[in-house]
Amino acid sequence: MINLKSEVDIEGIRNAGIIVRKVLNELSSITKPGIATMEYNSVCEEIAFSMNAVPAFKGYNGFPYSVCVSVNEEVVHGFPSKRRLREGDIVSIDFGSYYKDYYADAAITVSVGDISNKALKLMEITKEALNLGISKAVPGNKLNDISRIIEEYVVKNNFAVVRDFVGHGVGFKLHEDPQVPNYYIKDNDILLEEGLVIAIEPMVNEFGYKVKVKKNGWTVVTRDKGLSAHFEHTVAITKEGPQILT
């Protein structure tokens, strides 16, 4: 069931989103060769708790950490660890916060020092695909208008959209209806209405779209070992147009 949000709800989600943005900005700023990804977990918890928020991922369906850190061929749901980042890596950081009864969720992919031109293009295309998807998040459009523009842009630039993992509603819970695929499905023609809040999150692979889950039961990687990038915003659909809440 889709739960539309009031203006009060949207403001509450925006306040949770401010915390998400602060965390992601800080984690981006400390990213450099040699940092252990477990440090991201400590920093995000410190910031969230200092703002009276709770990291939304820890304990969610048993997920053991407060942030997802996915490096290179890892797509999503990577574990922070003692692994140290190296020059040329790309790292996707996904964080959600729970603050005063509301959830918000966002992700970024950042470079570690100098990266290859292909990795840079992958990041740029994924980020722009998110922006294009957001541009379609207006009342009167269909959900698959968002999906179509993301997929068309990614494919035009010779990359592949992940199909096994998708965006979602967010706000009262971390994951709500509707699902928001990043590829076009004709029958996914749900009407976008004022008050709908969704997490739009293209996950884009360097080569093929196929992925698999590692033995830890969480970390998703590309089957062909190509790179993957991930950008996400929590977005409210309003009569004034899309409002980015993160």
- Point out the annotated binding site: 77, 94, 105, 168, 175, 201, 232
183 close to 151: Cβ distance less than 8 angstroms: yes
How far is residue 125's CA from residue 95's CA, in Å, rounded to a whole number? 21
- Measured in degrees and rounded to the nearest 5, phi and psi for residue 15 equal -65, -40
Binding-site positions for substrate read 77, 175
Beta carbons within 8 Å of 138's beta carbon, 6+ residues apart: 192, 237, 241, 242
Token output for 86: 């190296």
Cis peptide before 181 (omega within 30 of 0): no
- Selection from 74, 39, 45, 71 nearest residue 58 by Cα: 45
Note the Cα 6 to chain centre separation in Å.
23
Binding-site residues for a divalent metal cation: 94, 105, 168, 201, 232
Contact call for residues 132 and 150 (beta carbons, < 8 A): yes
Nearest of 203, 238, 233, 237 to residue 221 by alpha carbon: 203
Q: Phi, psi at residue 95, to the nearest 5°?
A: -140, 140
Nearest of 147, 137, 195 to residue 13 by alpha carbon? 195
